[in-house]
Amino acid sequence: MNKKTLKFVGYCLAVSAPLSLNHSLAQTDSSIWDGVFTEAQATRGETAYSANCASCHSTDLRGNSNTPSLLGMSFMFIWENQSLAELYTKMRNEMPSDNPGSLSTQTYEDLLAFLLRSNQFPAGEQALKADTAKLTKISITPKPVFSQ
């Protein structure tokens, strides 16, 4: 890693904290870090992603010229501090872009689980359900620095 790259990475880290101020925090009483989807959902979601999403967003989720990356720094830049309800609603209403809303509710749930697992959020015991009231209370947040 050259000096410029180090400088760039440092800059990105430096701006990541102020960025969160630009979003209104979701009304949170449940943490995304507690495991809000199951491993089985994410695995099913991976298959559904290949069939319905990868042709635009790429098999590695990093997108191309016409589609945003769904991974890592890019994903968090767009979605940090927004609720899972907002992300789910966008997927449900606008995706796949050539046939919005055409997948089953379970498939959308699975896709959201796969998206979360791909971004290093942990799986848990409770299945993720398309319950807007519950999803509104789960905010997409960076990993807590101190965890018990």
Partner 1 sequence: MKTKIEILLASTLLLASATASAQITDYQSVTEDLLSNPPAGDWLNWRGTQDGWGYSALDQINSENVGQLQLVWSWAMDDTGAGEAAPLIHDGVMFLPGPRGVIQALDAANGDLIWEYRPGITPALEGSNAKALGPDQLGDAAMPATAFAGVGRGVQKNIAIYGELIYSATENASITAIDARTGLLVWETPVADPALGYYYVAGPIVANGTLVTGINGCERYKDDVCFITGHDPLSGEELWRTSTVARPGEPGGDTWDDLPLRFRAGSDAWIAGSYDPIANLVYWGTAQAKPWARAVRGTAGDALYTNSTLALNPDTGEMVWYYQHLPGETHDMDEVFESLLIDVGGRQSLFKMGKLGILWQLDRVSGEIIAATDIGYQNIVNVNPTSGAITYRDGQLPRIGQQIDICPSTSGFKSWRSMAYSPQTSAMYIPIALNCELATFGPTERVLGGGGTGPVRRSNYPHPESDGNLGEILALEIPGGEVKWRYRSRAPINTAALTTAGGLVFAGDWDRRVFAFDADDGEVLWQSRLSTSAQGFPISYMIDGKQYIALPAGNGGASWAASLPRELAPELRRPRNGNSMHVFALPGK
Provide the binding-site residues for partner 1, judged by CB under 8 A.
Answer: 4-5, 8-9, 11-12, 15, 18-19, 22, 51, 54-60, 62-69, 72-75, 77-78, 94, 97-100, 102
CB closer to partner 1 out of 36 and 95:
95
- The secondary structure of the chain in percent helix, strand, coil, rounded to multiples of 5, reads 50, 5, 45
CB closer to partner 1 out of 21 and 133:
21
At 18, phi and psi to the nearest 5?
-60, -30
Name the minimum Å distance from CB 79 to partner 1.
Answer: 10
CB closer to partner 1 out of 44 and 57:
57
Name the minimum Å distance from CB 105 to partner 1.
Answer: 18
The tokens describing 138, both together, are: 């789960």
Torsion angle of C-alpha atoms 121, 125, 112, 134, degrees rounded to 10: -100
CB closer to partner 1 out of 33 and 77:
77
Name the minimum Å distance from CB 131 to partner 1.
Answer: 25
Please report, as a single letter, which amino acid is at residue 60: D
Name the minimum Å distance from CB 38 to partner 1.
Answer: 27
Q: Which helix (H) or strand (E) holds 31?
A: strand 30-31
Rounded distance between C-alpha atoms, residue 133 and residue 70, angstroms: 24
